[in-house]
């Protein structure tokens, strides 16, 4: 039986986080805006309206290239890509077909596998169509939004690899600070190219392109579906049709949309209204100096302290990665601080408390200070705070009224500081052991039933209003019940 091998390449459109659009001085953030309100005569392509290139978009494009380990082309230029579509009022798109700003590079996955980048180019976005029953609505707010389209080489051979690449690319772009990375609002969109060929074939199979996927799960599912669909076609002895297909997330299926165009169909021509982009080595070096830490940089130091699964969760949130790095640097400045324990416990608070479903909205608030976090963990390590109390204080850091309050003050206000004084605890234990209702448990413990010790600890905790250190209480009880 013939074995078939899939090959996948991905094109990703990254919306740049500029204040204005690529060729017009119009607000680039259309989220929550009324349709067709973020527009200008330039975006509509009215006669006599000339584009003016956004310098900020060029600088962010350089950072995209650097984050992709790519060559930056010091000279690049724009072309017109002609096509008519309701969401593109000019009748053409300004893009970089022949001389892109970003050359060859690669993205390294957490597994160490490198997915090569063929190139990445700067271009303007089109609008958005909403299809209703019997008609479609056009929103042109997105027209002219600056995009960098990142084109991978066909280096992926499974749906899992495609998903991992899409996610790592998203992490890389968001950590680099070049995009908001809001997948729901289309800040990054993935087009997957899938082909299937018989194992050992010198040529790749006929590819199909599934466009505008906006989640990693959709990328994985769409690739899985296309591999199965194309394999069935080949097993019947039929030919796969080269076409553009759409993805239906509800049904988990792709459907044909139109035959795949070639470059000649778009009648490319040099863009006459925008001069050649000429960069200097100084421009590139300045962007390199401004580039934030990237996921692989974080992994290198985090692996010393945290398990891989925890690291991958944290890397989904740039503000958490950044805060942990700041915390690590602060700990290193003070040799008396237990860096490993601080990092481990704070990372656990981030993943198990802050990212709990009901608390994810707190990510939009101001982060705790390093001093607050270090003091909190030290109080826990000294048994001044139980695990539960530590979580309570941690969540209070996100209360606007508590942002800059010392951890100790917050703990006192909450009344959660544990009693560790042996003499004070001994008096509370004596009071509990003197109660008639604990007599049977004491007798059972002395007869060898050690499980009842938990009941006695609970009684002491109740007597102390939860402030007693359970470990100390247990030790005292064992001494007194000998």
Please write the tens of the pLDDT for every residue from 98-108.
Answer: 999 999 999 99
Going by C-alpha positions, the residue among 36, 278, 263 that lies closest to residue 144 is 36
Beta strands 253-259 and 243-248 are antiparallel
Instruction: Give 62: exposed, middle or buried? Use CB within 10 Å, 0-12, 13-18, 19+.
Output: buried
Report whether pLDDT(287) > 80.
yes
Distance CA 141, CA 28 (A): 8
Asked if residue 449 lies in contact with residue 401, where contact means CB atoms within 8 angstroms, the answer is: no
Phi, psi of 254, deg, nearest 5: -100, 150
Report whether pLDDT(420) > 70.
no
DSSP 187: S
Report whether pLDDT(469) > 80.
no
Distance CA 368, CA 348 (A): 15
pLDDT for the residue numbered 454: 83
pLDDT for the residue numbered 426: 76
Percent residues over pLDDT 70 in the chain: 98
For the segment 143-194, what is each residue's pLDDT rounded down to a tens digit?
999 999 999 999 999 999 999 999 999 999 999 999 999 998 889 999 999 9
CA 335 remoteness from chain centre:
32
Distance CA 444, CA 306 (A): 43
Q: When comparing pLDDT for 419 and 7, which is higher? A: 7
Alpha helices in 190-338 (DSSP H): 216-235, 281-290, 295-302, 308-314, 318-333
pLDDT for the residue numbered 395: 94
pTM: 0.87
Q: When comparing pLDDT for 455 and 196, which is higher? A: 196
What is the band of 419 on the pLDDT scale with cuts at 50, 70, 90?
low
pLDDT for the residue numbered 260: 61
Distance CA 418, CA 411 (A): 10
For the segment 206-229, what is each residue's pLDDT rounded down to a tens digit?
999 999 999 999 999 999 999 999
For the segment 18-59, what is each residue's pLDDT rounded down to a tens digit?
999 999 999 998 888 999 999 999 998 898 899 999 999 999
What is the band of 358 on the pLDDT scale with cuts at 50, 70, 90?
confident
Tokens of 146: 């600056």
């Amino acid at each position: 039986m013939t074995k078939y091998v899939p090959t996948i390449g991905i094109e990703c459109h990254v919306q740049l986080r500029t204040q204005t659009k690529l060729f017009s001085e119009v607000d680039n953030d259309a989220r929550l805006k009324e349709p067709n309100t973020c527009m200008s005569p330039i975006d509509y392509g009215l006669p006599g309206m000339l584009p003016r290139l956004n310098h900020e978009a060029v600088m962010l494009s350089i950072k995209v290239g650097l984050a992709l380990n790519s060559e930056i082309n010091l000279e690049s230029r724009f072309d017109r890509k002609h096509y008519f579509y309701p969401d593109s009022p000019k009748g053409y798109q300004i893009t970089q077909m022949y001389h892109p700003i970003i050359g060859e590079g690669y993205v390294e996955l957490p597994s160490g596998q490198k997915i090569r980048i063929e190139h990445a180019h700067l271009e303007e976005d089109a609008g958005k169509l909403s299809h209703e029953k019997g008609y479609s609505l056009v929103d042109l707010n997105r027209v002219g939004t600056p995009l960098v389209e990142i084109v991978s080489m066909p280096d992926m051979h499974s749906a899992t690899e495609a998903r991992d690449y899409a996610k790592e690319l998203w992490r890389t772009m968001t950590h680099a600070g070049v995009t908001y990375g809001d997948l729901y609002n289309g800040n990054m969109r993935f087009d997957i190219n899938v082909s299937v060929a018989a194992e050992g074939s010198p040529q790749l199979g006929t590819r199909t392109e599934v466009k505008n996927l906006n989640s990693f799960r959709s990328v994985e599912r769409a690739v899985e579906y296309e591999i199965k669909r194309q394999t069935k076609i080949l097993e019947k002895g039929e030919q796969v049709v080269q076409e553009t297909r759409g993805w239906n997330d509800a049904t988990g299926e792709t459907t044909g949309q139109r035959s795949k165009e070639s470059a000649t169909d778009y009648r490319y021509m040099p863009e006459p209204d925008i001069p050649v982009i000429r960069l200097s080595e100084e421009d590139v070096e300045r962007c390199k100096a401004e580039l934030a830490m990237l996921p692989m940089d974080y992994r290198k130091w985090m692996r010393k302290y945290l398990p891989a699964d925890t690291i991958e969760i944290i890397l989904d949130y740039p503000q958490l990665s950044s805060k942990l790095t700041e915390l690590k640097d602060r700990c290193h400045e003070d040799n008396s601080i237990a860096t490993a324990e601080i990092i481990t416990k704070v990372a656990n608070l981030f993943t198990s408390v802050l990212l709990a479903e009901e608390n994810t909205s707190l990510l939009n608030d101001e982060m705790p200070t390093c001093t607050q976090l270090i003091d909190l963990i030290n109080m826990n390590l000294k048994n001044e705070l139980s695990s539960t109390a530590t979580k309570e204080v941690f969540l209070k850091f996100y209360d606007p009224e508590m942002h800059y309050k010392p951890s100790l003050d917050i703990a006192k206000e909450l009344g959660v500081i544990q009693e560790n004084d042996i003499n004070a605890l001994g008096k509370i234990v004596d009071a509990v052991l003197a109660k008639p209702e604990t007599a049977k448990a004491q007798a059972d413990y002395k007869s060898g039933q050690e499980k009842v010790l938990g009941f006695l600890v609970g009684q002491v905790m109740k007597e102390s209003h939860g402030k007693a250190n359970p470990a100390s209480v247990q030790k005292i009880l064992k001494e007194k019940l000998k």
